[in-house]
A and B are shown apart, each in its own frame.
Chain A
Amino acid sequence: GISPRVSLLIFCSLSLQENHVHDKLVPHSLLQKDFVPFLLNFLREQTSQILTNGPSTPAKTPNSKVLRSSASHGSQKTGSERRAGNSAGSCSSRMQLFSQMTPASSYTPDAMRRGRRKGNNSANAAGQQVARDIGRSLTEEEDGKGDSASLSGGRRKRSEVGPTSANSPPDQLNLNNLEEFPPMSAASGLTNKPSRRINPTPVSSERSHSKPKMCFTSTPVSQSPAARFPSGTSLETFAAIQKGNVTSITGSSLQEEREMLKKERYSLSLDPSTPTKPNYSWNGSLTTDSQVVTCADLSKVSCKKQLELLAQLYSTCIAENLVPNIFLELFFVLQLLTSKGTTSSEDDAVERQHFQNVHNCVYFAVQVLDCQFEIISYLERGTLKLLAENERIASFSPGLHARLMKAYESSTAKVSLLLPSSVQSVSFQPETDNRSNFPSDRAFHIFKKQRDIFYELLREWEDNHEKPGWDFERVLGNRIRAMMNHLTAACNHSHFARLFQKQLIQMCKGPIGGGTSWGDTPDQDVLNMLGSDNLSRLKRLQERFVVPQSIRGPCPPPTFPGCQQFFRDFILSAGSYQFNQHLMDSLCLKILELDGLTLVEHEPSDGEADMDEQDEKKRFTAALMTLRLLAKFLGFLVFLPYQTVEPPSRDLQESAVTLRNQTLPVLDVLKLLRQSVLNRRTILTVPWIVEFLSLVDHFAPFLDYYGRVFSLLLQLYRCLVLSEDKEMSFLNKLLILAVLGWLFQLLFSAIAESGSVNFSMHVWLCYPLSGLYMWGLLFTPDFLFTGELRKLLASFVAGSGAKNGGFIRKITPTAAESLTAKPSVTQQKLQVELEQAFFHNQPPSLRRTVEFVAERVGSNCVKHIKATLVAELVKRAEVMLQDKVKEEDANHSKLLDEVCAQLYEEGAQALHKGREFCRLKGPEAVRVLLPEETSAAVLNSAEDIAVGLATEKACTWLSTNITALIKREVRTTFNRMLRVQGPSLSSEDTQGERKGCPPNCQHHAPFPSQIINEIKDVLCIAVGPRDEDEGVLYVQLECLLKRLSQTLQCRKFMCPTSEQQLARCTVELASLLVSDRVPIQDLKPQTQKKPERQRGRKNAVNGLLKSLLSVWKEDFWTPVPVQLMFSRKNVGYIAEVEQREWDLFLFMLHGLVDHGLMGNAEIESCLHSLQELLWSSDFLEELEAISRIFISEYHVAEPRTRPCELVRQPRGTVAAQS
């Protein structure tokens, strides 16, 4: 016979092949869409009382009344209460799979029962009917009459019992009487075995009072006991109440739950992670109260057959992607598996249901797991271990247990937590960050500061954000905004946006939202995406009764964990339109770049993964992670302006949608999505698009554009039936299904919140692939579009095998096109095809190598041209400018333009030189990078292609940019030239002529700083004030000057400042010596006679002066300011002495001339100007005399041959010396 699985499949895909639905089948298409939700809700409801473990699995809402009453209930709340309440409320609504968009269609048996009395519409009735039919077929099978329970039988009955048919034969079930015959367990009238008869579920007393039924899946806000507690915990409590185990609820446990609620509220108020959507994180804890896990017993399972059939049906729904979120269902199944339940309620005959006890639940769960073994076997190793070691599975299905053990032993899958990248800064890159990238010096310097401020903020956040009471906005808000103002003033937003984005990627690209030091908050949605962690955690929870451990449920909203929080808060605090815009630009660009990553598919089961494959995987993972991160932030920014705290009203929605339908999307995700489907790159593109869309505001899903995006995603979801095939690897599909399931779950709640009645998302979701036209109707009346979609999908499905089809053709066929004569179009096409064919049978690494070489060589070529040709031109321009700038310091920019114009012509050489460069370097690189064994022919072709691509890249850039580049470089040089023009430049030039240390210099000379210090000490003593007996030893001075000479000769440690200081200090010292102000002690000729002593002293000083003169002349590279000896201050030293001695001064004058340090004329003019200063009359006279003597001596004798010690004709004291 045909199994129920097959019949369901056929039923659900009746119209799959058809573009239109046959008239007769119209009601069935409606049936189809109602069936799955019905089944899911049925399961949730049936298990509601037994399941008290873990967070609620999103499923449904009791009925529309509840929602409405919850809304009114919510509106009475105030402030924080409201917020918390809202979260709970929307939690329940979010968790609804099939909420009441259409008030009439309520899927719960309960509601149906009630609705029935009011009279249902046909669609609803039809839905119920299918369920009943299936129920019937279940029973039939059970009866061993399964053969007839085939498709035809079901159909027949369906057609017999029309939607409006109210009458049924008395011996048949009154199918419309749902009070007597609840769905799924209906049709029991057909069975002959009363013992196995599935009793209709009587309406319980509480339900008859129209109280919404309490079920674990949702927390109706209207229910007062439940409303007090966060979802999940309340259920337990409530379940206990229902069971009458009130005693088990002690005051302390209530208190505990209140505490948890408080905590929850606190975390809600603290965590602004989703500004518009409440946080649904669920602090699930399993209380370690008296409740004991019931031991599941196979022998106690009742209605096995039905359970088996249900499990098959359910599994089929999962396998065929008829459920909105596969992982949610698996989560649910594991919940059932691990349910603690309560003691069997066999005595409670009134409440008999399929899932009345733990045994049945576990049996069902094990059945489903058995069917879904393939998916299960891909679970992460840890989870597999837990499953394999689960004693329930072991006792209920030894076969499954054995398979799980085997799967566990061979599994290598781990939740891949990449090494947390250490927090680092974004490195400074001169190409993008140096002065030439900024419009002005000011902008450059402002940005310099901003970079530092940014990191300062980051460090501060890092240090403090986890401290209690620390508030981002309060502490950093104003500083961020001040920074934004500066950015705006300097037009630096693009630079900062780039820095911001790079830092974001650097810190957050790992699956953990940053390094471990940034708080151990695992990226829950990544883990959820992988689908395993929660399951395993839940399992562990159950096993160990760990309390309390935070579980966020299987479908957490998007969050910004770890250091992503910093960036999110930064954006919010900055509140800068300009910044956001630049950041979006930057994000879009990066996303497009990464999305274009070359994907190389590998044979799925390749055995040992070779190096290439591993690299490929790493690259892919990195790209995927980064894309998801960037897309999340892009989504955050794009939808930020439209976010509202409260779900907006329907009126608002209409006008908003009308308005926003007029604008273009920031990033054309629809196009990218379509391309990815066409190119079979969904594995890379879908996850980030999902991330982007997870942040939509309330209205966005209703926009035409995003509607199309969602519908395409939905089609994709439907296509990806999980099974091993050649089209796509199982894991890839799993990933896509996981992320899509997550997104759909999110959207449902968003839509449910908005309370839109017409928007029947569930209709598509429950509709199989064939419903293309239907989506067209719902979303866009554009039929062309759906046609195109079908084509897209067809190509997706019918694509070639994995081996050669996977990668995108990134190498563009335009190689060197512009540089050579253009071949005909067909020729070109042929060439392209040949090139593709060439790569086709080569290992993928060849293509990568060629692409890589082309990219690098092209880029190096440009750099080379810059460093050679352009640099040369700039040098020439410098010479030209230097000449012209001297003759006329008129219009600089005009001058610049003129000079540049002369260079442009030669700039044209760049193309030629560039081509040369590529031709030379490309093959070299390819040869080095390809394996030695590569055949000559392959090598040649690879080289040619690489050269072509590189040339194309380089020359395209050069031809468009060379003139601008020349101009920029010349201008920079010119500006530098203008700035440094002056004496400093010339002194550098003169220095440049010398060549450092003397040969064989050991660099053992004293350090300049040491010598300066010592001279300073001498000056100190000379200038005073000093003690009577203080002085400087002659030998010390002598030695100092010798060491000064050594120091100046060794250039190693010399710097201009040191040398200039030495020059100045020595001139000062000379002045003090000349005026005999240095208290020299320890003069060698120790005679008592005064004249002798004086002569000796003078000779000694002369010796020192001679040394100084020689050092000045020989050892200094920098000009020595000897003119300072004629300054008012220094000549004043002589003037202050009562017994003036001029011969030392004269000696110095001649020395200066003799050493060529000053010219005669120069000295004369210095002396002359000295005489113009204000002096005492006698001093002035002496000065005049000296001046006269110097001049006369100079004119009388040959300066060079004149002995310096020669006695001159003095006056006064000077005369006395002779």
Chain B
Amino acid sequence: MKLSKAQYDEIAQFLGHVQPTRQSLRKLKKRFPRYLSGVVKNAGAPVLLELANEVDFAPSLMARIVLERFLQEQEGTIPSKTLINSMLRDPSQIPDGVLANQVYQCTVNDCCYGPLVDCIKHAIGHEHEVLLREMLLEKNLSFLAEEQLRAKGYDKTPDFILEVPVAVEGHIIHWIESKASFGDECSHQAYLHDQFWSYWNRFGPGLVIYWYGFIEELDCHRERGILLKDCFPTDIVTLRHSVAQH
């Protein structure tokens, strides 16, 4: 599904999703003491989660902040990122049982961020890669997958490099990257900078498939060599013959 930018903006506005700002963060830190008093009254009450909802903050991020503060006060030093991440992933490691429950409640209830959601995202990404691989095999397009490329020592690796380039909708492509997400402006820019251009720099033009759609206007680098699609392309011309559907 492709969305025009206007359509996307409308939806985004409708959802009223406002990015957490520094202001709300400050508000949040002020309210931290409330957590303690709340928990003292009732250890089982979803204090932390409610706190997060109150300041319009992702619960898992809230949990992270509180956990950081907690460890900092307990240990006297700023805790390492790995430790925090590990505790968020497995709250059983958190020394304080009540906090552990609170944190877990936050991560489980968060639909956008946190280790659980990250993992789901990762799983979806992987599943689509597998699907794409299937399609490539079905079309008899031989490719090198990421693992093979990494083994060869490539420094940047798209999901698939075609051993023999093909033309999709008249554009030659050398590689295909699968993205199991919606390509909005923000994430696409980041991907361009960190991944797509890097692939172009090494392997030439390529194709990005945003399985969950993208903003149409972002597909503006076709001439330069980055093609966007929201599904596996049908108009593929190989070196020898056309597999076009129509």
Select which of A452, A1023, A1124, A1136 is within 8 A of B109 by beta carbon: A1023
Q: Does A428 lie within 8 Å of B197, measured CB to CB?
A: no
A461: interface (CB < 8 Å): no
Mask: chain B, 136-163; 1 = CB below 8 Å from A; 0 = not: 0000000000000000111110000000
Contact residues of B: prevailing secondary structure: helix
Report A-chain residues with C-beta under 8 Å of the C-beta of B213. none
B79: interface (CB < 8 Å): no
Total A-B residue contacts, Cβ distance less than 8 Å: 125
B97: interface (CB < 8 Å): yes
Q: Does B153 lie within 8 Å of A434, measured CB to CB?
A: yes
Nearest CB of chain B from residue A326's CB, rounded to whole Å: 43
| Chain A to chain B contacts (Cβ below 8 Å), 5 pairs | A433-B155, A452-B201, A1012-B123, A1025-B49, A1058-B119
Q: Does B152 lie within 8 Å of A434, measured CB to CB?
A: yes
For the A-B complex with A434-B154, A1008-B123 known, give 18 more contacts whose Cβ atoms are closer than 8 Å: A427-B203, A428-B154, A428-B202, A430-B152, A452-B197, A452-B198, A1008-B126, A1009-B123, A1013-B120, A1023-B105, A1025-B105, A1058-B122, A1065-B116, A1129-B91, A1129-B92, A1132-B97, A1132-B100, A1136-B43
A1019: interface (CB < 8 Å): yes
B164: interface (CB < 8 Å): no
Name, among B45, B104, B197, B198, the residue most crowded by chain A CB atoms within 10 Å (CB to CB).
B198
The verdict on A1052 contacting B130 (CB below 8 Å), with A424-B204, A1128-B92, A1129-B97 known, is yes
A1055: interface (CB < 8 Å): yes
Nearest CB of chain A from residue B143's CB, rounded to whole Å: 16
Determine the distance from Cα of A1127 to Cα of B127 in the docked complex, in whole angstroms. Answer: 32
Restricting to B92-121, which residues have a CB under 8 Å from any CB of A?
92, 94, 97, 100-101, 104-105, 108-109, 116, 119-121
For chain B, which range describes its interface: under 10, 10 to 19, 20 to 34, or 35 or more residues? 35 or more
Name, among A451, A1057, A1124, the residue most crowded by chain B CB atoms within 10 Å (CB to CB).
A1057
Restricting to B187-246, which residues have a CB under 8 Å from any CB of A?
197-198, 200-205, 224-225
A1016: interface (CB < 8 Å): yes
Q: Does B104 lie within 8 Å of A1058, measured CB to CB?
A: no
Nearest CB of chain A from residue B85's CB, rounded to whole Å: 14
Q: Does B124 lie within 8 Å of A436, measured CB to CB?
A: no
B44: interface (CB < 8 Å): yes
Nearest CB of chain A from residue B166's CB, rounded to whole Å: 16
The 5 closest A-B pairs by CB, nearest first: A434-B153, A1127-B92, A1009-B123, A428-B202, A1058-B123
Determine the distance from Cα of A1129 to Cα of B95 in the docked complex, in whole angstroms. Answer: 9
Select which of B91, B97, B116, B198 is within 8 A of A1061 by beta carbon: B116
Report B-chain residues with C-beta under 8 Å of the C-beta of A785. none
The verdict on A425 contacting B104 (CB below 8 Å), with A430-B154, A448-B156 known, is no
Nearest CB of chain B from residue A1154's CB, rounded to whole Å: 24
Determine the distance from Cα of A1132 to Cα of B92 in the docked complex, in whole angstroms. Answer: 10
Mask: chain A, 1024-1063; 1 = CB below 8 Å from B; 0 = not: 1100000000000000000000000000110101100100
A916: interface (CB < 8 Å): no
Residue of A with least CB distance to B180:
A1009
A1007: interface (CB < 8 Å): yes
Nearest CB of chain A from residue B212's CB, rounded to whole Å: 12
Nearest CB of chain B from residue A1161's CB, rounded to whole Å: 21
Determine the distance from Cα of A1052 to Cα of B119 in the docked complex, in whole angstroms. Answer: 17
B185: interface (CB < 8 Å): no
Report A-chain residues with C-beta under 8 Å of the C-beta of B169. none
Determine the distance from Cα of A1039 to Cα of B50 in the docked complex, in whole angstroms. Answer: 32
Determine the distance from Cα of A272 to Cα of B127 in the docked complex, in whole angstroms. Answer: 54
A653: interface (CB < 8 Å): no
Report A-chain residues with C-beta under 8 Å of the C-beta of B116. 1012, 1016, 1061, 1065
A421: interface (CB < 8 Å): no
Determine the distance from Cα of A813 to Cα of B101 in the docked complex, in whole angstroms. Answer: 81
The verdict on A1057 contacting B92 (CB below 8 Å), with A1020-B108, A1024-B46, A1132-B97 known, is no
Q: Does A436 lie within 8 Å of B153, measured CB to CB?
A: yes
Determine the distance from Cα of A213 to Cα of B203 in the docked complex, in whole angstroms. Answer: 63
Q: Does B127 lie within 8 Å of A1053, measured CB to CB?
A: yes
Mask: chain A, 729-761; 1 = CB below 8 Å from B; 0 = not: 000000000000000000000000000000000
A1064: interface (CB < 8 Å): yes
Report A-chain residues with C-beta under 8 Å of the C-beta of B205. 424
Nearest CB of chain B from residue A1053's CB, rounded to whole Å: 4
Select which of A1024, A1025, A1053 is within 8 A of B126 by beta carbon: A1053
Name, among B105, B116, B127, B201, the residue most crowded by chain A CB atoms within 10 Å (CB to CB).
B201
Nearest CB of chain B from residue A999's CB, rounded to whole Å: 19
Nearest CB of chain A from residue B223's CB, rounded to whole Å: 8
Report A-chain residues with C-beta under 8 Å of the C-beta of B91. 1129
Restricting to A554-568, which residues have a CB under 8 Å from any CB of B?
none
Determine the distance from Cα of A433 to Cα of B156 in the docked complex, in whole angstroms. Answer: 11
Name, among B119, B156, B224, the residue most crowded by chain A CB atoms within 10 Å (CB to CB).
B119
Report B-chain residues with C-beta under 8 Å of the C-beta of A1068. 104
Determine the distance from Cα of A1012 to Cα of B97 in the docked complex, in whole angstroms. Answer: 25
Select which of B44, B120, B156, B197 is within 8 A of A1136 by beta carbon: B44
A456: interface (CB < 8 Å): yes
Restricting to A427-469, which residues have a CB under 8 Å from any CB of B?
427-428, 430, 433-436, 444-445, 447-448, 451-452, 454-456, 459
Restricting to A392-441, which residues have a CB under 8 Å from any CB of B?
424-425, 427-428, 430, 433-436
Nearest CB of chain B from residue A1078's CB, rounded to whole Å: 13
Residue of B with least CB distance to A972:
B153
Residue of A with least CB distance to B103:
A1129
A1130: interface (CB < 8 Å): yes
Q: Does B155 lie within 8 Å of A448, measured CB to CB?
A: yes
Select which of A425, A430, A1057, A1136 is within 8 A of B119 by beta carbon: A1057
Report B-chain residues with C-beta under 8 Å of the C-beta of A454. 201
Select which of A455, A1007, A1024 is within 8 A of B123 by beta carbon: A1007
Q: Does B203 lie within 8 Å of A1025, measured CB to CB?
A: no
Report B-chain residues with C-beta under 8 Å of the C-beta of A1058. 119, 122-123, 126
Restricting to B12-56, which residues have a CB under 8 Å from any CB of A?
43-46, 49-50
